[in-house]
Amino acid sequence: MMCSGRVDLSFIFRAFQNGMDGVFIGGCHLNECNYITHGNYHALNVVLLAKRVMQHIGINPDRLNIEFMSGAEANLFVEVVNRFVDKVKKLGPLGSTEGIDQNELRKRVSEVSKLIPYIKIVNQEKLASRLTDPTDYEKLFTQDEIDALFKEVVSYYIDPAKCQACSTCLKRCPVVAIEGGKLQVHVIDQDKCIKCGTCFEVCPPKFGAVTKIVGGPAPPPLPLEKRAILRKAKTAS
């Protein structure tokens, strides 16, 4: 057992990646959190976002459900869980009613999982919302917004011709996704990059080596043997 506020977008898609047919999340009643964090609002927002992402990749959003109840409502817990289990049984195995081949399904979920840090960064303000009116649930994340998010995914690239190996971006990267050394062009490992934009923000303006790319992949990294930066020797006046 844990606070529903601990539920992360990655947990949900990891469950589907591992072949689960449905995901159920139970939390305390809204406004009855035992902590000042009110994590159940965060859990609700995560679920609303996850459902939109699921729709984007072709997974029936009914395979994900969140319910709010107290620890004293055992009968309610049994009722909502049984109702959800019956719904998932009718939907059948993951991918079956969606008409998605298992290999394609795993590929789609895997691609989403890699983008989760980016999805959370883009939607961090909305994920912090506290919706009190259920009629607002559908408006928090629209399908058009999520479709556009995936269409306009950003990438960051360090231009070898401009990089001066100052290591500012390397030292500030929160996930150690930048490779480089003294007098060596720095390179972003796109598999590790969470697209937070820190490198873009901290690169000294006089260099302007980090480029933001929208809606397309970053160019391939410079081969290791070509990353050396040659400084011109200073001549005595």
Q: What is the pLDDT of residues 114-138, one digit of tens each?
A: 999 999 999 999 999 999 899 999 9
Which tokens is 115 given? 């983008």
Q: Name the domain boundary from 151, 173, 204.
A: 151
User: 83 and 167: one domain?
Assistant: no
Q: Name the domain boundary from 151, 173, 188.
A: 151
Report the pLDDT value the prediction gives residue 1, as an integer from 0 to 100: 58
Mean of per-residue pLDDT scores for the chain: 92
Model confidence pLDDT, tens digit, residues 70-89: 888 999 999 999 999 999 99
User: 161 and 145: one domain?
Assistant: no
Tell me if 234 is assigned to some domain: no
User: 106 and 219: one domain?
Assistant: no
Distance CA 182, CA 121 (A): 31
* Domain count along the chain: 2
For the residues 54-63, what does the mean pLDDT come to? 97
For the residues 51-68, what does the mean pLDDT come to? 97
Distance CA 124, CA 15 (A): 22
User: 144 and 168: one domain?
Assistant: no
Share of the chain above pLDDT 70, in %: 97
Q: Is pLDDT of 234 > 90?
A: no
Q: Name the domain boundary from 131, 151, 171.
A: 151
Report the pLDDT value the prediction gives residue 148, as an integer from 0 to 100: 95
Report the pLDDT value the prediction gives residue 226, as an integer from 0 to 100: 93
User: 86 and 182: one domain?
Assistant: no
Distance CA 157, CA 187 (A): 8
Distance CA 92, CA 63 (A): 10
Model confidence pLDDT, tens digit, residues 178-233: 999 999 999 999 999 999 999 999 999 999 999 999 998 899 999 999 999 987 65
User: 139 and 56: one domain?
Assistant: yes
User: 185 and 118: one domain?
Assistant: no
Report the pLDDT value the prediction gives residue 236, as an integer from 0 to 100: 55
| Residue 59 binned pLDDT confidence (cut-offs 50, 70, 90) | very high
Distance CA 119, CA 163 (A): 28
User: 46 and 92: one domain?
Assistant: yes
Report the pLDDT value the prediction gives residue 39, as an integer from 0 to 100: 87
Range of the domain at 222: 154-226
Instruction: Report CA-CA distances (Å) from 34 to 4, 5, 81.
Output: 11, 11, 23
User: 69 and 84: one domain?
Assistant: yes
Tell me if 82 is assigned to some domain: yes
